[in-house]
Amino acid sequence: MSTIAFDSDNKIVSLYGKKSSYNIKLYNTSLPLHLHWGAKTCLSVKKSFFPANDRGFMILAEARDNSYLVEEMQFEYGFAENGDFRVPAFRVRDGQNYPITGPFELTTYIYRGKNQIPGLPSARPENAQDLETLELRMHDSKSGLWITLSYSMFPKYDAVTRHVRFSNEGSRPVKIEKAASMSLDLYNWEYELLYLHGAWARERQLQRRPLQSGTTAFGSIRGTSSHQFNPSFALVSPQTTEFSGEAYGFSFVYSGNFLSELELNHDNNLRLNLGLHPDTFEWQLQPGDSFNTPEALMIYSDEGLNGMSHNFHGFIRNHIFPPPFQKAERPILFNNWEATYFDFDERGLVELSDIAADIGVELFVLDDGWFGERNTDRTSLGDWTVNTEKLPNGLKGLAEEIEKRELQFGLWLEPEMMSLNSKLALAHPEWYISIPNRPVAEGRNQLVLDLSRSDVREFLIETLDQILSSAPISCVKWDMNRYLTNVASSQLPASQQQELYHRYVLGLYHVLDEITAKYPKVLFEGCSGGGGRFDLGVLYYMPQYWTSDNTDAVSRIKIQYGTSLFYPPISMGAHVSAVPNHQVGRTTSLEFRGHTAMSGNFGYELDLRALSDTELRQITQQSSFYAQHRRLLQFGRFLRIKSPFESSEAVWMFIHSAASAEDSSDYFLLFWFRLHAEANLPSPRVKLAYLEENVLYEEKSSGLSYTGSELMHRGIILPQLEGDYVSQVYIFQKKGSENS
């Protein structure tokens, strides 16, 4: 299949998706210019792609070439220091510390398939024959620097992946000061920015606002992609809704510091850069060496935000998740953290597992506190030996007991850390990130290991290997509970200290590469104080993520709704926990908590021993409902119908997309939630979507049937329920087919 076309007469390269195209003009054999990204476009105008006005006080492109003004052009990778005064995509200095500004010689190269980026996670093609990659190679003969822009189109999802490689073929080192993974110059058709901001226990709150003159920027300098700003965001037209209009989504396949910059200039041009955060990055590139940026992902849809999310969800499941988990159903999980915190022993855990097995749980995860002297969060990270006072028969003994109950066994680890109060810190004080002879800031009483060091990485790989081979462990919850501060490494030379943030992330990926290759069947669940590092870089290794430490169902409705804009429900760990809730003190019904949690990757996290028989019966029904509808809930199409950010209601549905034969099915689920009651409210009324117009659907609880067109165009009136925090799930069965 051909996804790239080259029009050699007009020097236009086009990447074609199902409904989109990305068109690039190769200008004067020196510069790739951006023509278009969006709805599939066939470019017939050959001469007037760009404005050619002679305007005052602007810099011309090249000496004696007055055919364009630099600031009016749309570049594929924005320059610094050449008369383009927008925020540049990159900044590189040569051996004399002079900025490299070109001119470049441009060559184009197209190959079948897509190469993985060395040392970094990047989208995996299902079948290399299905796509092609475009490389635009820009050569600066003065310094010997090559800058190669790579593009691959995944047509089914209208997804373009991009990254940049810098290669030094000169004789002197060059210094990379800034290296975005993608840059995009657009005419601003009044775009609005949609992004996810938050904090610990309040992750991924949705915000939408028009862009205004100047630069809008958000990112992270915390060492992780952070709770505060997620590295996924979108541009939409003011008219774009959940179901219609254009949406342009972006995401960064990376787990460390990042910067998204959107500059709207005086000509109403919008430059968008996404990449490593330049404030915390610099790279010395020696002769003969290459540097690869992480990958950026761009996804287009003309079917509104739900269309964009659908493309993201499918893309992430099929091209980001590790192959063994792309199609694999996920087990119903029990986690003991909110049930016991640090206060447990083998007997108590086995008691919990007895009940867990009875209520339909399939995977029992032992959380923090099983190792060293870990009875509080002030000690023992790094000392990964079993605490035999709590677990006299070791992990193996416990795991075998759990397995006897036909449950899989999972284990919490926080490999990237050490407690100051640990044997590891005594043995290796040089292993944590700190600035020599200066005090180090503490967060959660712990320090971050310097993963740029090979001895630290080897220690981690060996330790993880020992743990994973010591007992039947089928799941690891990989936690990371503090940001990076005082960032310096005793092993890096002075000129490379600014590389540490990125080298840390590369070190993490190295460890994950090794360990997931050795244990491909182990399910890794990511976590960072809840959802502090929820990004495509982590999901590449760990196909599910603990969405937030906030398990309150009301808060979770917003957190999961925001997260779903880019990330599929199967990636979002969501547990039913105790009431009053441990983070916000709120009491909600078991039913409401269940409906919220089963809209994500479902589990329980509460002391099952404290539940009444009635509650246990209710939970058993809940987990059996989830198991029965798991295929739909984990792999179906998730549609947001009504936003909790706009009203006191939330509505969403799960439906199998008709396009996928393997997942086609004859029913769908509709979830309705009301957060706060008011007097004299009208009955909830919603219009559904993506149904078959002429098919009859029977709503199982009432026995009433509706045509697809009726549900979509007239809408359905749902029964009003009384009280705060009420919810309902409805099963709609296609008439003539069976499902209970």
Q: SS3 helix, strand, coil % of the chain, rounded to 5? A: 25, 35, 45
Residue from 157, 325, 337, 602 touching ligand GLA (CB under 6 A): that is: 337
Question: Which of 140, 158, 450, 549 does the annotation list as catalytic?
Answer: 549
Cα 81 to Cα 93, 150, 213, 267: the distances in Å are 11, 23, 21, 19
498: helix, strand or coil: helix
Residue from 104, 151, 283, 412 touching ligand GLA (CB under 6 A): that is: 412
- Tell me whether residue 137 or residue 482 sits nearer to ligand GLA (CB atom): 482
Closest by CA to 171, choosing from 34, 287, 16, 304, is: 287
Structure-block tokens of residue 185: 């110059």
Is there a catalytic annotation at residue 479? yes
Contact between 248 and 300 under an 8 Å Cβ cutoff? The reply is: yes
- Tell me whether residue 262 or residue 449 sits nearer to ligand GLA (CB atom): 449
Enumerate residues 511-540 that contact ligand GLA by CB under 6 A: 527, 529-530
| Smallest separation (angstroms) from ligand GLA to the CB of 376 | 10
**Pairing mode of beta strands 283-285, 174-187:** antiparallel
| Smallest separation (angstroms) from ligand GLA to the CB of 603 | 11
Cis peptide before 99 (omega within 30 of 0): no
Question: Which of 140, 479, 535, 552 does the annotation list as catalytic?
Answer: 479
| Smallest separation (angstroms) from ligand GLA to the CB of 481 | 5
166 binds ligand GLA (CB under 6 A): no
549 binds ligand GLA (CB under 6 A): yes
- Tell me whether residue 401 or residue 414 sits nearer to ligand GLA (CB atom): 414
382 binds ligand GLA (CB under 6 A): no
With vertex at residue 417, the alpha carbon angle to CA 411 and CA 421, rounded to the nearest 5 degrees, is: 105
| Smallest separation (angstroms) from ligand GLA to the CB of 39 | 41
Q: Which residues pair with 323 in a beta bridge?
A: none
| Smallest separation (angstroms) from ligand GLA to the CB of 550 | 10
Closest by CA to 473, choosing from 523, 406, 528, is: 523
- Tell me whether residue 185 or residue 368 sits nearer to ligand GLA (CB atom): 368
| Smallest separation (angstroms) from ligand GLA to the CB of 367 | 5
Enumerate residues 143-162 that contact ligand GLA by CB under 6 A: none
Residues 6 or more apart in contact with residue 192 via CB below 8 angstroms: 208, 209, 210, 211, 235, 236, 237, 238, 240
Structure-block tokens of residue 465: 């290997």
Number of residues that bind ligand GLA (CB under 6 A): 12
Please report, for the chain, how many H helices and E strands are present, in that order: 13, 40
Contact between 78 and 271 under an 8 Å Cβ cutoff? The reply is: yes
Give the alpha-carbon dihedral of 416, 417, 422, 423, to 10 degrees: 20
Three-state SS letters, 73-92: CCECCCCCCCCCCCCCCEEE
- Tell me whether residue 191 or residue 337 sits nearer to ligand GLA (CB atom): 337
Phi, psi of 205 (to 5 degrees): -85, 140
Angle between helix 454-470 and helix 394-404 axes, rounded to 10 deg? 40
Structure-block tokens of residue 565: 């804009």
481 binds ligand GLA (CB under 6 A): yes
603 binds ligand GLA (CB under 6 A): no
Q: Which residues pair with 235 in a beta bridge?
A: 193, 248
Please give the Cα distance from 86 to 95 (Å, whole number): 25
DSSP for 632-699 reads HHHHSEEEEEE-TTTSSEEEEEEE--TT-GGG--SEEEEEEEE-S--TTPPPPEE---S--TT-EEEE
Is there a catalytic annotation at residue 383? no
| Smallest separation (angstroms) from ligand GLA to the CB of 17 | 37
**Does an H or E element contain 165, and which?**
strand 159-168
- Tell me whether residue 527 or residue 557 sits nearer to ligand GLA (CB atom): 527
Enumerate residues 275-334 that contact ligand GLA by CB under 6 A: none
Please give the Cα distance from 160 to 544 (Å, whole number): 23
Q: Report the half-sphere exposure of 335 (CA within 13 A, side-chain side).
A: 26
- Tell me whether residue 139 or residue 227 sits nearer to ligand GLA (CB atom): 227
Residues 339-378 vs ligand GLA: string with x where CB under 6 A? ----------------------------xx--------x-
Please give the Cα distance from 13 to 3 (Å, whole number): 11
Cα 84 to Cα 31, 78, 87, 88, 304: the distances in Å are 13, 8, 8, 8, 33
- Which residue do the tokens 């949705």 mark? 206
Please give the Cα distance from 414 to 478 (Å, whole number): 6
Residue type, 681: L
Residues 116-145 vs ligand GLA: string with x where CB under 6 A? ------------------------------
- Tell me whether residue 132 or residue 338 sits nearer to ligand GLA (CB atom): 338
| Smallest separation (angstroms) from ligand GLA to the CB of 558 | 18
246 binds ligand GLA (CB under 6 A): no
- Tell me whether residue 405 or residue 444 sits nearer to ligand GLA (CB atom): 444
- Tell me whether residue 125 or residue 530 sits nearer to ligand GLA (CB atom): 530
Residue from 479, 535, 552, 649 touching ligand GLA (CB under 6 A): that is: 479
Enumerate residues 652-681 that contact ligand GLA by CB under 6 A: none
| Smallest separation (angstroms) from ligand GLA to the CB of 447 | 15
Cis peptide before 103 (omega within 30 of 0): yes
- Tell me whether residue 132 or residue 549 sits nearer to ligand GLA (CB atom): 549
546 binds ligand GLA (CB under 6 A): yes
**Does an H or E element contain 503, and which?**
helix 500-518
Please give the Cα distance from 495 to 492 (Å, whole number): 8
- Tell me whether residue 50 or residue 342 sits nearer to ligand GLA (CB atom): 342
- Which residue do the tokens 């020599």 mark? 436
| Smallest separation (angstroms) from ligand GLA to the CB of 101 | 46
Residue whose Cβ sits closest to ligand GLA = 368
| Smallest separation (angstroms) from ligand GLA to the CB of 341 | 8
Q: Report the half-sphere exposure of 266 (CA within 13 A, side-chain side).
A: 5
| Smallest separation (angstroms) from ligand GLA to the CB of 527 | 5
154: helix, strand or coil: strand
- Tell me whether residue 203 or residue 367 sits nearer to ligand GLA (CB atom): 367
| Smallest separation (angstroms) from ligand GLA to the CB of 605 | 8
**Where in the sequence numbering do the catalytic residues fall?**
479, 549
Give the residues lining the site for ligand GLA (CB under 6 A).
337, 367-368, 377, 412, 479, 481, 527, 529-530, 546, 549
